[in-house]
Chains A and B, each alone.
Chain A
Amino acid sequence: GQNIDQPTEMTATEGAIVQINCTYQTSGFNGLFWYQQHAGEAPTFLSYNVLDGLEEKGRFSSFLSRSKGYSYLLLKELQMKDSASYLCAAMDSNYQLIWGAGTKLIIKP
């Protein structure tokens, strides 16, 4: 079956760094997405990885290892506004997104 695993909740301190891990099992693979979702709002796109390696975009970076079925989202210089749920989604061979349950990130001052 198809499955995405990510931690349910994480806590970090303002100004620190946090890494949110995601492992996936899909029928075929066409890339890995990370989305941010604030409470009561729709998800917003953060990153897309289809090749192995690290993609950096400002304070946010995303890493992919296809051989390990593993990705992580790295958030640096955490700000209070980064408190949100972070959704990992893998795209299968039918270009369908398989969603993780999301990781709720709590930022403390």
Chain B
Amino acid sequence: GAVVSQHPSWVICKSGTSVKIECRSLDFQATTMFWYRQFPKQSLMLMATSNEGSKATYEQGVEKDKFLINHASLTLSTLTVTSAHPEDSSFYICSARRLAGDSYEQYFGPGTRLTVT
């Protein structure tokens, strides 16, 4: 159990366009979902934390108007990169934490590789 999916797994878009990434917990309900960004050879950088039905909490330096997060249900969160630019090219990873938490483990999705040309 505890499977998290992401869609798409990779996407190439033109500068100035918007891209939506979906994160789903397939076999459990997630109280909280997290969005991370990872540049090559660097560690995970938390972008925002979202709880179902409420506004996401963004980390310092992350533009909330550029990275729109919607957590519409206990199994789905979306990240929309608006007006994407080449510097937004990165590996975006979501994770989900169970509703009935035990160890507060985060289950990671497989990631989405975004390339902005």
Does B42 count as interface, using CB distance less than 8 angstroms?
yes
Tell me if B43 and A100 are in contact (CB < 8 A).
Answer: yes
Does chain B have a CB within 8 A of A69?
Answer: no
Contacts of A31 in B (CB 8 A): 103-104
Query: Could you tell me if B110 and A95 are in contact, using CB atoms closer than 8 angstroms?
Result: no
Q: Are B111 and A42 in contact (CB under 8 A)?
A: yes
A31 to B111 alpha-carbon distance, docked (Å): 25
The total of Cβ contacts below 8 Å across the A-B interface reads 42
- Segment at the B interface, from A16-24, A43-51, A73-81: A43-51
Give Cα distance in the complex from A91 to B106, angstroms. 11
Which of A33, A91, A102 meets B43, CB within 8 Å? A102
Count how many chain B residues have C-beta atoms less than 8 Å from C-beta atoms of the other chain. Answer: 18
Q: Determine if A42 and B93 form an interchain contact, defined as CB atoms under 8 angstroms apart.
A: yes
A41-B111 contact, Cβ under 8 Å, with A30-B104, A33-B105, A97-B106: yes
Q: Is A12 an interface residue (CB 8 A)?
A: no
Cβ distance A4 to chain B, nearest Cβ, rounded Å:
9
List the A side residues contacting B110 at CB < 8 Å. 41-42
Question: Are B104 and A95 interface neighbours, CB within 8 A?
Answer: yes
Q: Given the complex, which residues of A lie within 8 Å of B49, measured CB to CB?
A: 96
Contacts of A99 in B (CB 8 A): 43-44, 46
What are 13 inter-chain pairs, A to B, with CB distance below 8 A?
A: A31-B103, A35-B108, A42-B93, A43-B44, A43-B108, A45-B107, A48-B103, A50-B103, A87-B43, A96-B46, A96-B49, A97-B34, A99-B44
